[in-house]
Chain A
Amino acid sequence: MSARTPKSGPPAARPDRSTEPDARDYTEDQPILDTLEQALDSRLGTGRAGSGRCFVPRSVEELSTFVATADEFGGKVTAGPPRPGLLAVDLAALAGVAEHRNGRPGNSGRHQGVDPISQLVTIDYGVTPAALDAILEGQGLELPALWFSDPNAPIGRAVACGEGGPLVAGLEAVLPDGAVFHTPLAPRRASGPSPEVFFLGRRHRFGFLTAITLRVRERQPVSWFRREDVATDLLDLARLRLLAATRDRGVALLRGAGDRASLYVAIVAGDAVEGFVPAAAPTLPPANGTRGSWSTLRESFRRADDVTLTAVGPFDRHGGFMRGPSVGAQSIDLDAIAARLDPRGTFAFAGDAAGGVP
């Protein structure tokens, strides 16, 4: 890996460069580090990070140092398995339920772990839906079903790939220069555009997603019902149910094959649903990434062998759009913004198709 040599050594603690992207606070009494590998060894411990290895952060602060060092010395980071010439990081190693970082409730710090009053939970990247549900059970809360296709995969990865968007109330990320960023936590805001737009489904193009605040809800027993019919008819039925104010816990169209499909609904009260039969809770097939309006979904059903409409329900009041993972597509404007945010290209490979998302 080629590496730039900085003019002098790094600071002992990183300065706040959140609003001063090109500033450096070098001090003369620091050791001079000539290479990226030296700097990583010095700051993170010998042998923990480097080209061809996968750095396992113990905290967001360590991840911040890792990214900042890469940025300073011209390294390129990737959220994936070790790859030649790239600094890989295992984000799934961050797998706790977040606590206030600075002991203050303000929006400037990390958000509360489980907030049962607001029905929110802030988790690290690597927490899985199954693990989170076990944590929430003790609080009388639950993660809504069917929002994440793999119950044993990191929620952070799913969010970075485009799943669970309407559940996300806030997030934390490490930006390309190592700065740690938290979205303000409020049910809705009007303080400019939502910075979340740079992380949901963006596959770490603008920074490493490290924590997510999710909307959860009171734990209540639900009953599942199923109906099998012509796919497009079921799609219309799902659409109408969602347009009406229902208290369904979730609606899923599963395994549409040819012109047939099964529609599942979950009802809190357990009342029978006309035209449906009791059923076991469905599991999701691997998300297929299709997204679209109702009209495009109908076309998809006509053409596809296996289409899934996942988890539209109370948190997605307006429904109507398939929530699948993004396909990592780029656009001129996204690339231009990323280039401004990350002028050294530290994250140029963080979320590309080859690097994937761990």
Chain B
Amino acid sequence: MRRGTPERYAYAADLWPKNQLWKMQGEPARYAPDAVVQPGTEAEIIAICAAVAERSVPLIPYGAGSGVCGGTVPIRGGVIMDVRRLRNIGPIDPLDMTVTVDAGVIGMHLEETLAERGYTLGHFPSSILCSTVGGWVAARSAGQFSSKYGKIEDMVVGVRVVLPDGRVVETHESQPHDLTALYVGSEGTLGTIVSATLRVHPAPETQVFRGFRFRTLDDAVRGIRLLMQSGKEPCLVRLYDPVDTLLHRSKDPAASFKDSTESPSFLHGLLDSALGRGAKKAGIALALGNPSLLNRLANTVAAECLLIVGFEGATSVVDRDAPAAWRLLEDAGGVDGGEGPGRQWLEKRYAVSFKQSAIYAAGAFVDTLEVGCTWSRLLPVYHAVRAALAPHALIMAHMSHAYREGCSIYFTFAAHRRDPKALERHYDRVIEEALTAVIREGGSIAHHHGVGLAKRDHMAREHGAGLRLLYAAKDALDPFALMNPGKVLPDRAVTQ
């Protein structure tokens, strides 16, 4: 156990932008834990559960702190339990094609280990270098190849969980009373995930990518819908809206599209494009000072959309499906742009937001919002969120994580205020208006970032009466509400 100030500060924040906004107001650790523990065994976790229960101290399971929704922020103090010493990767069951992995294993370590054995999990979140298996399961993570391999909930066969009372439960989807789906997405509020059994796949023999340009977003959305409903299984589907496409093209007139919307270079790229590198900090205020104008300008100039599609797997299957997919997309109005965009995306695929501080230091914020929609609600949600945020923030989006019945929209937005407190209020307003638009138009508030604190107060509108099922589970499994308090479920007083 560690109680020192450095540890307490280090574990006070994840990558939720509100932590940055609080730092700008002189609060580097608005909510610090009272202590940090790093158990190395399940037995130690059980002992920790007993100790905190005896003292009625909150306990917050912690992976690598890469969450962007405040899911590990210790708002009521307590003990943060870092599980990264749990890092065993079990043998692969070649018949069932599964592997059991400890919660603390870093994603890339798992993928590299599987690759050495001739397998892949197929889960490649952009945070794969700084996120854990336990965190993936707890927050219902999605990887960049989810169109082929599914989200983490599609991969989890079972989990092993230490409940707040110290009992250990091991779930398996073949059990008639299986509760795997209850623990997946519970974000540490019901217990501590110590390991997960995951489906694996043969390592791909080949991988191909292709870029396509579409004249309109509607055409492009139709194209990817038809692709997903054709029965082919692309691993990657990323469709950039006109503004996002424009940003990339302006950075590279030769149309070497680079995926920066999930990277710290998003706003830098914007300013590099508009102002040149020398005026970056001062330019942030200028660029974002009038988002309505900037959005109108961008919409006027922006024209086409970029789509990147990839296939991987057995060579015979890829050779069969990829050309057919290219033809389908061309028939839908796409213009083949070759392999370049996909290959360049691949090079930058893990460039996540480690270095946001320059943007925040300039008095601005940048954040993302990932929502899920059926195909019939995709464009209404997209347009509604853009309309809601256009007066308040520069906004762009890409569609990714496509499935047969729908797709995720990944919005990126940025705004500026001179006063840090005003910036936080503005941030709250932007999130509120965006999520209100999502729910009103029939989308789901979260596709793969989880709920944490960021979306907690929208859960009642997301689930309605169904929230009571989740309260019942919380009350039954964690009757003293010690597990990661304040996360996922809104305070009942608020919902009333």
Of the 9-residue stretches B276-284, B341-349, B358-366, B488-496, which lies at the interface with chain A?
B488-496
With known contacts A107-B462, A293-B96, A295-B93, A188–B448 Cβ distance under 8 A: yes
Tell me whether B150 and A340 are in contact (CB under 8 A): no
With known contacts A245-B314, A329-B176, A340-B476, A190–B450 Cβ distance under 8 A: yes
Of the 9-residue stretches A77-85, A303-311, A330-338, which lies at the interface with chain B?
A330-338
Of the 9-residue stretches A91-99, A275-283, A314-322, which lies at the interface with chain B?
A314-322
Q: Please report which residues of chain B, range 139-186, place their CB below 8 angstroms from some CB of chain A when the two chains form the complex.
A: 139-142, 146, 148, 150-151, 153-155, 157, 169, 172-177, 179, 181-186
- Measured between beta carbons, the chain A residues less than 8 angstroms from B123 are none
- Let me know if B241 is at the binding interface, CB within 8 A: no
Residue count of chain A within 8 Å CB distance of chain B: 76
- Let me know if A69 is at the binding interface, CB within 8 A: no
Instruction: Find the A residue at minimum CB distance from B471.
Output: A340
- Measured between beta carbons, the chain A residues less than 8 angstroms from B408 are 187-188
Bitwise interface map of A from 36 to 53 toward B, beta carbon under 8 Å scored 1, else 0: 000000000000000000
- Let me know if A175 is at the binding interface, CB within 8 A: yes
- Measured between beta carbons, the chain B residues less than 8 angstroms from A179 are 465, 468
Tell me whether B489 and A192 are in contact (CB under 8 A): yes
Tell me whether A314 and B464 are in contact (CB under 8 A): no
- Measured between beta carbons, the chain A residues less than 8 angstroms from B23 are none
- Measured between beta carbons, the chain A residues less than 8 angstroms from B441 are 105-106
- A340 and B477 CA atoms in complex are apart in Å by 10
Tell me whether A330 and B468 are in contact (CB under 8 A): no
Residue count of chain B within 8 Å CB distance of chain A: 98
Instruction: Find the A residue at minimum CB distance from B476.
Output: A336
- Let me know if A108 is at the binding interface, CB within 8 A: yes
Tell me whether A317 and B464 are in contact (CB under 8 A): no
- A190 and B372 CA atoms in complex are apart in Å by 9
Among the listed B199, B462, B464, B476, which residue makes an inter-chain contact with A318, where contact means beta carbons less than 8 Å apart? B199
Among the listed A19, A193, A294, A331, which residue makes an inter-chain contact with B185, where contact means beta carbons less than 8 Å apart? A193
- A96 and B417 CA atoms in complex are apart in Å by 53
Q: Nearest Cβ in chain B — how far from A28, in angstroms?
A: 23
- A194 and B199 CA atoms in complex are apart in Å by 20
- Measured between beta carbons, the chain B residues less than 8 angstroms from A194 are 153, 181, 184-185
Q: Please report which residues of chain A, range 178-233, place their CB below 8 angstroms from some CB of chain B when the two chains form the complex.
A: 179-198, 201, 206, 215, 217-218
Tell me whether A191 and B174 are in contact (CB under 8 A): no
Instruction: Find the B residue at minimum CB distance from A335.
Output: B476
Among the listed A115, A182, A268, A329, which residue makes an inter-chain contact with B374, where contact means beta carbons less than 8 Å apart? A115
- A20 and B224 CA atoms in complex are apart in Å by 43
- Measured between beta carbons, the chain A residues less than 8 angstroms from B372 are 186-189
Q: Please report which residues of chain B, range 91-109, place their CB below 8 angstroms from some CB of chain A when the two chains form the complex.
A: 93, 95-98
Of the 9-residue stretches B56-64, B208-216, B250-258, B399-407, which lies at the interface with chain A?
B399-407
Chain B interface residues (CB < 8 Å from chain A): 93, 95-98, 139-142, 146, 148, 150-151, 153-155, 157, 169, 172-177, 179, 181-187, 190, 199, 201-202, 225, 229, 231-233, 313-314, 317, 321, 370-377, 380, 401, 403-408, 439-451, 455, 459-473, 475-477, 488-489, 492, 495-496
